[in-house]
Structure 1
């Protein structure tokens, strides 16, 4: 069983909130589940992340994968969680060093080939992550 965590940012209006992105790889039938109040575009991240990981030359786990977005009560929308989900998954799989992610909020949409695409609201998300890390650092 492997568990890893990264950070991203949810925008509610113009206000940003840190979101913990956890990936758990465990025994079970291969399936990817996304939990934590995702909207339809975020639910599609499962397929974008799988294709991006495989097309980037990494191995996608053939096991049960659970992706959790916390806090669960905060609505989450958009594709800007893709990179945070992929990095969390790759960290849980042992391909990324977890210590390098402690103080980092990750935003970006993934192309199916693994390219990172720009997202709307990146400046507001960056400012929110910076303000949140100054008041209470995510560790």
Structure 2
């Protein structure tokens, strides 16, 4: 039993070896983009939050040294503020980046439906050509 007729992707024109294949991205699913962007943004936001939290801890250390020398103009940041910064960056950036990705996907789907999507041309590389091409 052949599975070639049941799958429209397999039953389409199969290019010959070395012939270019053309693809077009007509639509992007929103839900997978939301999941991927949110998870990556959580990680990125956590790293940025740690960076800013460490920065505020260093500022706090300098302000304590300055306070001992009589200069009380610097504000001190407590540990609760640093934890708040880490959480705020983690979830704030995740929300903002996910919202931006959703807006981009919706705009892309609207434009791709009316004027066409991104087109790619992919060609196979002849193995014999790779062997004959000198390196360096």
Same fold by TM-score greater than 0.5: no
Judging by fraction of residues, say which structure has more helix. 2
Judging by fraction of residues, say which structure has more strand. 1
**TM range, normalised to the smaller chain?**
under 0.3
For the pair shown, the structure with the greater C-alpha radius of gyration is 2
